[in-house]
Copies of this chain bind each other. A is one copy, B any other.
């Protein structure tokens, strides 16, 4: 049994507030348990120099935490004058994940800027950021119609799973669980059940193939539920997405 009474496979309470801020083309506040992330999608009508004239778009992501999103205040990266390795790793992951379900040629010569800002952290911030950013991106495209042809090819969500020394595989770790597990894995998967990204690592620990399979089973289940929840906020875009992998 977990501290908060959840079963091993159970997700924390999820909430997505669409259109959370007024300036961004698409934005949500996603809450997963006590983790809260503002995700915005901004659409700009040009592409970076290396893509000009190729009739393709681009998508890039940035991630940050407010200094007091965490239990101990962390120093701002702007104050330090550089982005940490952890932040870079996460923003590269978010970008890669979203690019897997968008057809950049159908997007046309546009750039989508994804910004994920964690205002309260309690574990699973990168997974929540991907799930929220996907939603913000679809909302932005639905509202602005700024594409050549509908470019989103599938649903997308992410979850963290881990091997707890006391109780084996568990799904959707909070901060305390995340510090306790031997192995943690982030899984990004589509509505079709295909993988976009699997990152499993055993910091000062190792894991067997059987354990990995258990973790992937838990993740798949969690992601199905997350996507179910996303659909409730996507309106008419649901039809376009489903048609595209029909």
Contacts and interface: CB of A to CB of B under 8 A. Distances in A.
Contacts of A185: 198
Contact of A208 (B115, B121, B195): B195
A197 B190 contact: no
Contacts of A203: 96, 99-100
Contacts of A76: 62, 64, 78
Interface in A187-206: 190, 192-206
A68 interface: yes
Nearest to A103: B204
Interface string A111-152: 001010101110000000000000000000000000000000
B89 A23 contact: no
Contacts of A54: none
Contact of A207 (B77, B85, B194, B202): B194
Nearest to A84: B88
A152 to B, nearest CB: 13
A73 B113 contact: yes
Interface in A48-82: 62, 64, 66-71, 73, 76-82
A22 interface: yes
A198 B196 contact: no
B21 A68 contact: yes
Contacts of A201: 96, 196-198
Contact of A83 (B73, B79, B200): B79
Nearest to A36: B21
B21 A42 contact: no
Contacts of A204: 99-100, 104
Interface string A204-230: 111111001000100000000000000
Given A92-B89, A200-B197, A201-B196, A73 B44 contact: yes
